[in-house]
Structure 1
Amino acid sequence: MQISPPEHLAPYIRHYIFLENSEKDVRNLRLFTDGSAGLILSGDMNLYSGISQNRMPLSFFYGTLNSYRDFSSKGIFSLIAVVFQPYFINILLKTSAKDLRNQIVSVEDVWKNKMEVFQEKLFNKADPLTVINDLNAFFTYSLSGNKNTDHHITAATQQYLLQNKGPVSSKDLQHFTGYSERHLERIFEHHIGISPKKYGNIIRLHYFLSLMNKGGDLKSMTSLSYEAGYSDQSHLIREFKSNIGLTPGQYLNTENKMAVNFIEL
């Protein structure tokens, strides 16, 4: 179940995802990059990361990913994923998003017991919409402080890249922001964790995914790749596999797409 935030939080939170498993079977999940960071909340989850099968904290932040990350869940659980707008983790935790890139950070380590009430509600099987409404109130309160000028530049540049559906030339970005390429890159990495170029490439890939999810098939892959701005299909496939870990055909055959960047393998 995917739930949108209220309008005043939409600039900071993309959406919430509620996911539960009522079976004892193992589920293999993949989170792949969409340029965002986020928060996973649970009160009863046995979640393990990657090949090493390291046990994950019950609740954790994840930084912006360069590509994808695999998890496996064991047993019955319920969780809420809060998918942030790219710059929100920097505002929320008041630390460089670059330092959090590809990182998993236990909520307890940075917020002590601030999330315990939400974890307890999930553990006690409270209505997820009620929990999300309470989270909306929590995040609204957390935004009461002022944001600096660099945040507004980052948000405006992000929107500019989204409007252009992907990469924009350095010259156009300099004209839009008034900043040099290197200065804008430093601002972007501090607030989002990756460069404007990397973020633009992610937007282009997700634009292609949106075209494909609207009814594309392998026969139309070439025309869709050109529409999304790829110079050739081999370039698309390389970027697809690097960021998602699958070929476009394998992605199309994936049955459970829980969100734009969250699938069950």
Structure 2
Amino acid sequence: MLGSTQVRQLNKISASHKKRAPRYHRPMRMRLLPATPALADQVRNFVIVETAEAATRLLMPEPSILLGIRYGGYAEQLDGPKTRRLPQATLTGLRDTARSMHTSAGGGIVLAAFRPAGAAQFFDLPAEGLFGTTLDLASLVADADLAGLCAAVAAARDDLQRVDFLERFLLARRRRPADMLVSEALRAIENSVGTIRIAALASDLGVSVDWLAKRFRRTVGATPKQLASIIRMRHALSLYGEASSLTQLSVEAGYADQSHFIREFRSVTGQAPRRLLKGSEYC
């Protein structure tokens, strides 16, 4: 938790330096920044996203819990006929289906993309409670701390300063050690790009599949199988090109065959791969 002096400093910066700051085919700026070495084991990277025009895009599942601080515009999550305006500060859990997001013109957000087990070291919440949901960060962080952080991020003069404020916030909150067994399992899943057999992994670790799944749900927010599926699908998307053969892509990404990949893709997006990948805007 930030101390009172830190909160005053952040608010002072906000008052003195206030500055307002895919759709892949519309004006959008995305910048990835590495985490400081002190956070590199918990945070994969930081992402700055700014949109000049209003846009709706499909967000594919990510293998990361995401902490977001919005400093410009607003975002709405679209769920069929329902629309939810998202809070300024959010914590979004893993999910196994894509979601539609509408972002206003002049939108700006800085994201901390945690490593799969990283968020559990900062927040007093079983990660399984985050699966498929987006929480208001105000439910987890003291009002003064969160207000100071949001004000500082909104007033920051550039991307580096926004990330610096978010890093300082996280460093002040880190309180739990890493779960070493989960960390070892995560390395195996990531090194295999999601293709490892979970039963074999559990056996190698000397635990049961059910026990490993319980440990993962508490720390990662998903079972090993769910996380592996997300990682494998993300890998498949990275291999896709306009001239891609779905058969070749399916094999390279570790699916049994093309029909297996199409079936998994439909379960995530509700659409066939060719139709969505060629005609939709997603990230």
- Give the TM-score range, shorter chain: 0.7 to 0.9
CA deviations on 1:44-77 (whole Å, 9 max, x unpaired) are 4322111412211111111111212211122322
Kept in 2: contact 1:96–1:193 (CA 8 A)? yes
Q: 1:48 aligns with which of 69, 76, 81?
A: 76
**Corresponding residue number in structure 2 for 1:210:** 238
Query: Per-residue deviation at 1:121?
Result: 3.3
Query: Per-residue deviation at 1:183?
Result: 0.7
**Distance of 1:58 and 1:136 partners within structure 2:** 18
DSSP 3-state at the match of 2:111: strand
CA deviations on 1:67-118 (whole Å, 9 max, x unpaired) are 1221112232211121111112222212211111111111112112323233
Q: What's the % identity of the aligned pairs? A: 22
1:106–1:171 distance in 2 versus 1, CA, 3 Å: closer
1:219–1:55 distance in 2 versus 1, CA, 3 Å: closer
**Corresponding residue number in structure 1 for 2:110:** 80
DSSP 3-state at the match of 2:207: coil
Higher Cα radius of gyration: 2
DSSP 3-state at the match of 1:70: strand
1:219–1:141 distance in 2 versus 1, CA, 3 Å: closer
Aligned length: 250
**Distance of 1:2 and 1:253 partners within structure 2:** 25
Unaligned runs of 5+ in 2: 1-30
Kept in 2: contact 1:240–1:247 (CA 8 A)? yes
**Distance of 2:126 and 2:262 partners within structure 1:** 32
Q: 1:109 aligns with which of 115, 131, 139?
A: 139
**Distance of 2:117 and 2:162 partners within structure 1:** 23
**Corresponding residue number in structure 2 for 1:260:** none
**Corresponding residue number in structure 2 for 1:152:** 180
**Distance of 1:29 and 1:171 partners within structure 2:** 36
Kept in 2: contact 1:122–1:128 (CA 8 A)? no
Unaligned runs of 5+ in 1: 258-262
2:171 matches 1:140: yes
Query: Per-residue deviation at 1:250?
Result: 4.0
Q: When the two structures are superposed, what TM-score results if normalisation uses the length of structure 2?
A: 0.80
Kept in 2: contact 1:167–1:197 (CA 8 A)? no
Kept in 2: contact 1:44–1:58 (CA 8 A)? no
**Corresponding residue number in structure 1 for 2:89:** 59
CA RMSD, Structure 1 to Structure 2 (Å) = 2.2
